[in-house]
A and B are shown apart, each in its own frame.
Chain A
Amino acid sequence: MPVFKTPFNGYSVKFSPFYESRLAVATAQNFGILGNGRIHVLDLPSSPSPQISELASYDTADGVYDLAWSESHESLLVAAIADGSIKIYDLSLPPTSNPIRSFLEHSREAHSADYNPVRRDSFLSASWDDSVKLWTLDRPTSVRTFKEHAYCVYSAVWNPRHADVFASASGDCTLRVWDVREPGSTMIIPAHDFEILSCDWNKYDDCCIATASVDKTIKVWDVRSYRVPISVLSGHGYAVRKVRFSPHRQGLMVSCSYDMTVCLWDYMLEDALVGRYDHHTEFAVGVDMSVLVEGLLASTGWDELVYVWQNGTDPRAF
């Protein structure tokens, strides 16, 4: 399956919700510590071939840590930049007129972005300044700031069935569930003993959420009874960097880790680890599952490679 080489270290990869062959990659120079960043928009080949073509690329003055495709406009892309800014790019415009928006409100690195999949008019950004911000395209500033976490917020993700509910994962070892109409968080789950780096909602059960942590485990929680997790998945050798639920199957999850592997899990099975891919030669930090093509996976990492492959096949074979 196809591979794309990026000049900088990969940080995040996301499939477009509009085109089954399109994906965007966030990269940062020098492992995201110092230097520039670049956003690549890629097109998969129609016939099986090892070449991925680049549709567009945008340079930034600091590393790009995360991306989110707009759910309302097929050409819009939201980027979380390491200088704390949130930038919006429009693929239909020439590169000189991009980015079309740049919001600088976070005082530290912005680490994740997520577009509301239900109401499709707003997005979230999570930052190392301990806050999550809610943005809409019709406002020149953020609509609201959610600041309760006591350490960096690594990820904020909308509930796929409730337009007003989202969850945030933080280095203060808590997962918080929020309702944008409430002044404070509605739920605080002390989910791990170490930092939580990522979280994602189950697409088929709006009360089920997974967290990935520095303690090498992924835990699956029911927000109605969060004293104990539904399931604890261990198998990664180092901190788990990102976790995503499948858009197609209820129990299926994909995760990537600092142990350089991408793992597939089904938390409903006894042997939850259903697949492991070790194609990356450096930290694997970005992974996604296609909404439009069942079983299509993409991953990126610090080895500057983007792999796209069908579940069950070897990512390196083409």
Chain B
Amino acid sequence: MESNRQPSANNPPPKPWERAGASSGPAPFKPPSAGSTSDVVEASGTAKPGEIVSTSNNNATINRNALSRPVPTRPWEQNYGNSNYGGIGSNMGYNSGYASGTYGSYGGVGGSYGGIGGVGGSYGGVGGLYGGGMYGNSMYRGGGYGGAYGSSGMYGGGMYNGGLGGSMGGYGMGMGGPYGAQDPNDPYGAPPSPPGFWISALRVMQGVVNFFGRISILIDQNTQAFHLFMTAMLQLFDRSGVLYGELARFVLRILGIRTKPKKVQPPGPNGLPLPEPHNPHVNQNYIVEAKAAPSGSWDNVWGTDAGK
């Protein structure tokens, strides 16, 4: 029996439900057709072999009647002038204005990136995701959070939308050109020349966009846990006093205001000079005196050496 077993007859054991009876009543489905799936589809006239779907031009024939809410913008697509996304479209103006005004044309990405380093910056980066990916669009649109944090310019801004989406559209056009004529799988012909600086830079950008796209989908799928995490982070920063101090410093830096004059070092408490590495005696005195300073004072927020 083994010898005449053909691959197509190589079937698994019958499913448990195939031995059971039929369903609970007449089903609203057409009776199955005979033949293989590809034959059935081709006979029905609906086959479209190898169709490539691009997400940018799919708004022409799509039936969106049953949508129960506006769909969030994805970071990899640009939606300017797309009439189907009325609500989001009107947000975009604000977002892109924010991005271009503050950071220039690559504002969103720069913001999120620069953010990962220091405390103030990381705040900016996470803030971007927060505004665009989640609160701006999908769940809390226009709700209490938008209002509460909108004024800070971090949460309402949604640099994710404007920044990433915008830059994506821009270089998407650039990519098409140089590669249009060349098939990378062509076994004949010379190997392609190494990509130029801009092409490789754009590829890096593509990777960055992909990266943030996946993060935003993950956040989309898991809004509650992300909300909890962000709330905990906010409380942590708030409690340790970093939040508003760093925010203020960040804003001042953007405005071009230095937070400390750097010409002359101001005298320390009680007129003593500030500690120097070669003066251990004074250093000791300073520590003792510094303890006596009022703890609630804002004078020490920047640290004594912020101007260096």
Contacts and interface: CB of A to CB of B under 8 A. Distances in A.
Interface string A140-162: 11111101101110000001111
Contacts of B297: none
B151 interface: no
A107 B53 contact: yes
A189 B66 CA distance: 8
Interface stretch (A50-58, A180-188, A303-311): A180-188
Contact of A119 (B36, B50, B53): B36
A98 interface: no
A109 interface: yes
A241 B221 CA distance: 8
A134 B38 CA distance: 9
A150 B11 contact: no
A33 B214 contact: yes
Contacts of B27: 162, 206-207, 223-224
A239 B53 contact: no
B48 A258 contact: no
Contacts of A203: 15-17
A224 B25 CA distance: 10
Interface string B50-70: 111111001000111111110
Contacts of A130: 53, 55, 58
A162 B32 contact: yes
Contacts of A161: 17, 23
A190 interface: yes
B46 A181 contact: yes
A147 B51 CA distance: 10
Contacts of A162: 27, 29, 32
Contact of A147 (B17, B49, B58, B217): B58
Given A122-B38, A134-B37, A258-B222, A143 B17 contact: no
A106 B54 CA distance: 8
B211 interface: yes
Interface residues of B, number: 64
Contacts of B52: 105, 107
A18 B44 contact: no
A171 interface: yes
B239 interface: no
Interface residues of A, number: 90
Contacts of B220: 171, 195, 214
A56 B106 CA distance: 45
Main secondary structure of the interface of B (DSSP, over half): loop
A122 B15 CA distance: 18
Contact of B7 (A72, A148, A206): A72
Interface string B15-46: 11100100111011110110011101111101
B139 A73 contact: no
A74 B10 contact: yes
Given A107-B52, A128-B217, A160-B17, A238 B222 contact: yes
B65 to A, nearest CB: 8
A251 interface: no
Contacts of A160: 15, 17
Contacts of A188: 63, 65-66
Given A120-B11, A206-B27, A107 B222 contact: no
Contact of A121 (B10, B16, B36, B215): B36
Interface of A: 17-18, 31-34, 71-74, 82, 105-109, 116-122, 128-131, 134, 136, 138-145, 147-148, 150-152, 159-165, 171-174, 179-190, 193-195, 197, 203-208, 214, 216, 223-224, 237-239, 241, 247-248, 258, 283, 291-292, 294
26 contacts: A33-B218, A73-B10, A74-B10, A117-B15, A129-B55, A138-B38, A140-B50, A143-B42, A147-B58, A148-B62, A159-B29, A163-B33, A164-B40, A173-B69, A179-B30, A180-B46, A181-B30, A181-B33, A190-B66, A206-B27, A207-B23, A214-B222, A247-B17, A258-B222, A258-B225, A292-B13
A-B pairs, 4 with minimum CB distance: A141-B50, A181-B44, A122-B37, A203-B17
